Amino acid sequence: MANRVKNGSEVSVMILVANAHVLWYSTTWAYALSFTFIGVTAITMLYFAFLFIKRMHKIRQLRAQEV
């Protein structure tokens, strides 16, 4: 192409944009990914809340036994 431009020939370039077949452009994929992220976050938070409540319950039982 560079040689043709140097020779004075007329050169044209056409850029074709490909179709968006990638998963990231699909709205269904975006919704599934966001719901999965929210679900995993909620389950993790519930797990830590369960551990916290369990720990507080044990502490309360130990204090009740001391009295």
**pLDDT in the model for residue 45:** 99
pLDDT at 49 over 80: yes
> Tens of pLDDT along 8-43?
888 888 888 776 666 666 788 889 999 999 999 999
Q: For residue 24, what pLDDT is reported?
A: 64
User: Domain locations in the chain?
Assistant: 23-67
Give the list of residues 6+ apart from residue 24 with CB closer than 8 angstroms, or none.
Answer: 30
pLDDT for res 22: 65
Cα–Cα distance for residue pair 49/30, rounded to 1 Å: 28
Q: Which pTM does this prediction carry?
A: 0.55
What local confidence, expressed as pLDDT, does residue 37 receive? 97
